[in-house]
Amino acid sequence: MILSSSKLRKVILATKTRRHQEYRGATNLASCPHSEAREWWPGQMEGGEMARTFHCFIEHRYRSQNKIAAFPSILLKRHMQVQKTILITGANNGIGLATAQLLAAKGHTILTLCRDKSKGDQTVTNLKQAYPGIQPENFTADLTDFDAVQKAAQEIVAKYPVIDRLINNAGYYAGAIEYSGNVEKTLKASHLGHMLLTQLLLPSLNRSSEARIINVSSALHAQGSADRFFKRTQGMSFSQAYSDAKLANVLFTLGLTKHLPSNIKTFVLHPGVVRTGFANNSSGWFSTIIKILKPFFLSPEQGAATSVYLADVNMEEISSLNGHYFAKKKATPLRHKDVTEQKAAWLWSNSMEFLKPYLKITSV
């Protein structure tokens, strides 16, 4: 039997599954954990509500009757490939921008967090023009400014009660070695700023039926040393500061696995050596080498491939790889002497001392 659009709408809106009743209680469909469904269904409902409720209806109807196999596979695939709400930091250029564009092309809702408001807003405008079916939005915060991170996170959680993916992509390469107390600024931005953001967004991530936190590191983490964390190091070079921060990304991911509920997984990745604006405004031998070799590097789209893969792949393919390091879309073993559970726990504990004043809770 084929229902008309109007009748189907009535059937769908009347459907209440036990699992989602608190969200679907006739008012706030947008906060339902299944609010990710891609807005493919024709109709007048705002914000993809028709698609959201139809997705929940299909899943409830067939799973509750144990008839999921009876649903035509091609249609099942269409229904179950649902839209996700994805927040990407540093999405106004380079790998972050390419990641946003590639995921927007798949129909996902893209949220950006950028240091420069005008550049972030322009990114959102360009995404809207290129992909009219999505509703991206930009938020602004400098990851070295914890008050700004806290404010932006509060705005995001209030407006988006469900977030399915957090891609901590923003990179930082210092034009000069600077310290805030005993914290080098690259470590503060790339590690502590992202750790704070992640903690503050956990309420929205936890409302997703299957959330992922994806941290963008680098193969240069191999040159990092945890012995330089949280102390002033005389003669610290730009490359050492960057490598230390990328090592911290790896350890943060490892530590995060011990503090997340089962519905949230986390991964860390090396994007490859990518042709971006990285180190353009810096000096020193490392920056010079980067600029000379840049024409031979990967494109931003190629560099975004692993981020996009981890955000979009079926969880069944990576569920056993929680906390793992990926390169070229594959889990890759790490042999750095500092990549241990003990060192990850040490980093977590010390990092929390800096972040506690900005959190309502003292641990996750």
- Would you name the residues annotated as active-site residues? 242
148 near 141, Cβ under 8 Å?
yes
302, exposed or middle or buried, with CB in 10 Å at 0-12, 13-18, 19+?
middle
Burial class (CB in 10 A: 0-12, 13-18, 19+), 322: middle
Q: Please, which residues have CB within 8 angstroms of residue 202's CB and are 6 or more apart in sequence?
A: 264, 364
Neighbours of 268 (CB within 10 A): 26
Rounded Cα distance between 203 and 73, Å, is 34
Secondary structure E strands in 100-210: 109-114, 137-140, 165-168, 179-180, 183-184
Count of Cβ atoms closer than 10 Å to residue 4 Cβ? 8
In contact, 210 and 164? CB cutoff 8 Å: yes
Q: Are the C-beta atoms of 121 and 95 separated by less than 8 Å?
A: no
Structure tokens at 135: 């509703």
Q: Which of 88, 97, 89, 91 is nearest to 299 (CA)?
A: 97
Q: What distance in Å separates the CA atoms of residue 269 and residue 165, rounded to the nearest whole number?
A: 15
Q: What is the spatial distance between Cα 219 and Cα 90, in angstroms, rounded to a whole number?
A: 19
